[in-house]
Amino acid sequence: MSEAKQVWSQCLGFLKENVPTQTYETWFQPIKILSLSDEEIFLQVPNQFFYDWIESHYKEILNRAIENVTGNGLKVHYTVNVSKPAKEQVKNNPVDKKAVEEIASEAKKDSQNQPRKKKSRIVEKGTKINKNYTFDRFVEGKSNQFAKASAIAVAKSPGKTSFNPLVIYGDTGLGKTHLIQAIGNEVLQEERVEKIVYVTSDTFTLDFINAIQKNKSVNFSNYYRDVDMLLLDDIQFFEGKESTQEQFFHIFNSLYQHGNQVVLTTDKHPMELKGMQKRMLSRFQSGLTVDVQPPDLETRIAILKEKAEDENLAIPFDVITYIAKNIKSNIRELEGALIRLMAQSSLLKVDVDLDLARRMLSDITGSDPDKVAPASVSIDNIQEIMGNKYDISLDTLVSKSRKQEVAEARMIAMYFSRKLTDLSLKKIGLYFGGRDHSTVVHACKKVDKQIRDSEDFRSKINSIEAEIRGRT
């Protein structure tokens, strides 16, 4: 390894230890060292935007890394790599809110200097673009912040950023289609380009097959080459279709070379796609690849609240929270559960409450989600945690004492014994001084009511439950 590369490797080591992982992987790992002297260091960055961001956000920490390694404050010079767009991989790491806003703001400034073309028109091949799929209606959380910001940047300045192609990947039902269609809707509204095509990969394949059958392959190719923006959904369905891949490869190259924007979605990272031409995967890597992850609890709650508001549904907050806590991996399943809950409420002519939500999820999963807990959860664990939490002994917890703190600790312990174990009401009562099952039922109902009525109490219960589950 040359001296320059060795120095830069040590600088990267310093940066890796002193900045967040996402910051390191996104902004420092792509930098290459070109040369080094006693007074200067020359670095290559992928593009102008990259340079501006480093200078405005990370100049100080970069200088500190260089000084720490070399012992001197070297003058830093940058060279922008203009041979091809930046190869930027954004992985499963959230970015801070300010960074997200800056990325979109940067693209917006650029777009204001771009002349508008003739009135935009969008061509929907087989699948209609949902007019409700806009950026405003996309619920943002840590799991999708960067993907949304990147999509906004592309929509504000199509073909003018280094994010070409933009590849959005993630599991089914996490919002990829919403984002790609939001790009189409935004560009259409702002009239940034003249012709946009939105198409799913299976429709693209069928079009290609029909073109072959009718000896119109040239017409097919020319049609797709003559667009300003191509939005192609679910490219994983190109796997194993060699002729379709070959055709798309040439269409992609033509669009890319003419500076026209391409946006793709897939259910996995492009490099994990099987049966795909390596040269095509290489093209995908030349732009920006971003992922969307399963939403966290707060984002799931926000999604359900927005869905309820859109449908004018009056859903109690504790019911929304319950659904969000028990359906974690898929936004479509979340929204589907909400609709099913309302349907059951209407058919059974009963109010939407926590009990109905429990029964509804039990019908979906085949078990009560509340009782899905580690097998090692025991009443002994629960009683020990409650005793420590309220600073009372086990004897006091199961005694007949009616002191407020003792009664509350006992009530909550019974609630979690019912929720997190498979023991019958009668057996739970025996663990608490030989109380009968009606006392346990009363305690559980009282806790449920306080959860609904008090946000502070609800927060306390969530914290205790996390501790119980974490202990096992």
Whether 266 contacts 234, CB under 8 Å? yes
Instruction: Report the pLDDT value the prediction gives residue 378, as an integer from 0 to 100.
Output: 82
Which tens digits make up the pLDDT trace of 38-78? 888 989 887 666 777 788 778 889 999 999 898 888 888 88
Q: Is pLDDT above 90 for 312?
A: no
Q: How large is the average pLDDT for residues 260-277?
A: 87
Which of 33, 20, 99 is CA-nearest to residue 61?
Answer: 20
The model's pTM: 0.55
Confidence of residue 375 (pLDDT cuts 50, 70, 90): very low
Distance CA 126, CA 198 (A): 9
pLDDT confidence of residue 86: 35
Q: What is the pLDDT of residue 83?
A: 45
pLDDT confidence of residue 360: 78
Identify which of 160, 269, 178, 272 has the alpha carbon closest to the alpha carbon of residue 231.
178
> Which of 365-369, 408-412, 446-450 is predicted with the least confidence, judged by mean pLDDT?
365-369
State the average pLDDT over residues 142-157: 87
Please state the three-class secondary structure of the chain as a single string: CCHHHHHHHHHHHHHHHHCCHHHHHHHHCCCEEEEECCCEEEEEECCHHHHHHHHHHHHHHHHHHHHHHHCCCCEEEEEECCCCCCCEECCCCCCCHHHHHHHHHHHHHHHHCCCCCCCCEEEEECCCCCCCCCCCCCCCCCCCHHHHHHHHHHHHCCCCCCCCCEEEECCCCCCHHHHHHHHHHHHHHHCCCCEEEEEEHHHHHHHHHHHHHCCCHHHHHHHHHCCCEEEEECHHHHCCCHHHHHHHHHHHHHHHHCCCEEEEEECCCHHHCCCCCHHHHHHHCCCEEEECCCCCHHHHHHHHHHHHHHCCCCCCHHHHHHHHHHCCCCHHHHHHHHHHHHHHHHHHCCCCCHHHHHHHHHHHHCCCHHHCCCCCCCHHHHHHHHHHHHCCCHHHHCCCCCCHHHHHHHHHHHHHHHHHCCCCHHHHHHHCCCCCHHHHHHHHHHHHHHHHHCHHHHHHHHHHHHHHHHHC
Over pLDDT 90: what percentage of the chain? 14
User: Tokens in use for 170?
Assistant: 């993630």
288-291 and 166-169 strand pairing:
parallel
Q: 207-216, 330-339, 404-413: lowest mean pLDDT where?
A: 330-339
pLDDT score recorded for residue 113:
52
Q: Which residue has the higher pLDDT, 307 or 101?
A: 307
Is residue 290 within 8 A of residue 150, CB to CB? The reply is: yes
Distance CA 225, CA 39 (A): 50
CA gap 248, 246 in Å, rounded: 6
202-230 residues labelled b (16+ CB within 10 A) or e (exposed): bbbbebbeebeeeeeeeebbebbbebbbb
pLDDT band at 408 (very low <50, low <70, confident <90, very high): very high
**363-384: average pLDDT:** 64
Cβ atoms of 228 and 261 closer than 8 Å = yes
Q: Which domains does the chain have, with CATH numbers?
A: 3-80 (3.30.300.180), 88-107+114-291 (3.40.50.300), 297-371 (1.10.8.60), 379-471 (1.10.1750.10)
pLDDT digits (tens, 9 = 90+) for 167-193: 999 888 888 999 999 999 998 888 788
Q: Is the pLDDT of residue 88 over 50?
A: no
Beta strands across the sheet bearing 288-291: 88-89, 288-291, 166-169, 261-266, 229-233, 195-200, 121-125
Tokens 């501790």 identify what position? Answer: 467
Q: How far is CA 457 from the centre of its chain?
A: 30
